[in-house]
Amino acid sequence: ELKVEQNPLFLSMQEGKNYTIYCNYSTTSDRLYWYRQDPGKSLESLFVLLSNGAVKQEGRLMASLDTKARLSTLHITAAVHDLSATYFCAVDIRAQKLVFGQGTRLTINP
């Protein structure tokens, strides 16, 4: 059974600081997604990582994928309050069947 584990599950940080969210998974996959969810809202796609070594960046967020280590990271640079949300990684196990991590609730304080 595939397990997708995110850590930390809760993260409170100050504006301007850098931090990384980790997503570990237990089986072979070369496709991984990151989503953002605001409270009471739907999921918004952030990144699609399609191969080993893939790196994508959008604004203050950068995601990477290491398929050999079965690890993806979401790095936040110089955090701002607007990035407060819950972030999910999801691993594609076959033909877009996704297994989600538990989510990381990120709170950024002024």
Binding site for other proteins (CB under 8 A): 4, 31, 33, 35, 41-45, 48, 50, 88, 90, 95-103
Name the β-bridge partners of 26.
none
Taking alpha carbons only, the member of 59, 28, 34 closest to residue 46 is 34
Q: How far is the CB of 102 from other proteins (least distance, A)?
A: 5
Q: Which is nearer to other proteins, 22 or 103 (CB)?
A: 103
- Measured CA to CA, the distance from residue 86 to residue 90 in angstroms comes to 13
Q: Give which of 20, 41, 44 is closest to 33, Cα–Cα.
A: 44
Query: Which residue, 68 or 94, is less far from other proteins as judged by CB?
Result: 94
Please tell me the distance from the alpha carbon of residue 98 to that of residue 58, in angstroms, as a whole number: 23
- Measured from the CB atom, is 20 or 103 closer to other proteins? 103
Smallest gap from Cβ 49 to other proteins, in A, equals: 11
- Nearest distance from residue 110's CB to other proteins, in Å? 27
CB of 62 to other proteins, least distance (A): 17
Q: Backbone dihedral region of 16: left (phi > 0), alpha (psi from -120 to 50 degrees) or beta?
A: left
Q: Which is nearer to other proteins, 62 or 99 (CB)?
A: 99
